[in-house]
Homo-oligomer: A and B are copies of this chain.
Amino acid sequence: MNSLVRELKETVCALHDELVRYNLVAWTAGNVSGRVPGEDLFVIKPSGVSYDDLTPESIVVCDLDGNLVEGELSPSSDTAAHAYVYRAMPHVGGVVHTHSTYASAWAARGEAIPCVLTAMADEFGGEIPVGPFALIGGDDIGKGIVATLEGRRSPAVLMRNHGVFTIGASAKAAVKAAVMCEDVARTVHVARQLGEPLPIPQGDIDSLYDRYQNVYGQRSPR
């Protein structure tokens, strides 16, 4: 197990650089986690550590109740939410949380992002939904994420007055969803500033989503 965890820590540490590169995070306000394959464990960012100072060694290991299992630092203050998602959604291999500007602005209004871009149909298969307002510190955020995403195509949820949580088969896929969520949140916002975007018929959304999930990219695990 040790080498698997070490590798995952490296991957998850490096993925935080993508949050910085795409301007999804300010100061220390965002985190990535990844499930340890075959174990009831996940690795996650430590709390309040700056992205510059993040090293694979500083990434901590938690069990699925969010208890610290390995590591010298306290886990992210969002650990309970990540843990809840891993407990409730066995197919999820990675979770990301950010307060990225445009997605959080939709979340502040409690408004779902309508699917008016083909790139959004590809990645999200429809609108990006809004989850409930929930306080940090228990299972409320995790429950809100799972209740909103379960049975939907979208790997992203806008938690009301808060920010974004995304899920994926891997930590990298969840990061991609976080990057694309902010990208479409911004483009649809800008479009709406000067009028109403044209709708895409549901049948076209369906066929775009189906094609992208099955044909896009190289024939290797994404």
Contacts and interface: CB of A to CB of B under 8 A. Distances in A.
A135 B216 contact: no
Contacts of A207: 135
Contacts of A106: 191
A49 interface: yes
A198 B116 CA distance: 24
Contact of A108 (B101, B108, B188): B188
B118 A191 contact: no
A192 B190 CA distance: 12
Copies per assembly: 4
A202 to B, nearest CB: 13
Contact of A198 (B49, B160, B179, B218): B160
Given A104-B117, A109-B195, 15 more contacts: A26-B179, A27-B180, A28-B217, A29-B183, A48-B217, A101-B190, A104-B191, A105-B191, A106-B191, A109-B197, A111-B195, A118-B162, A118-B163, A160-B198, A193-B194
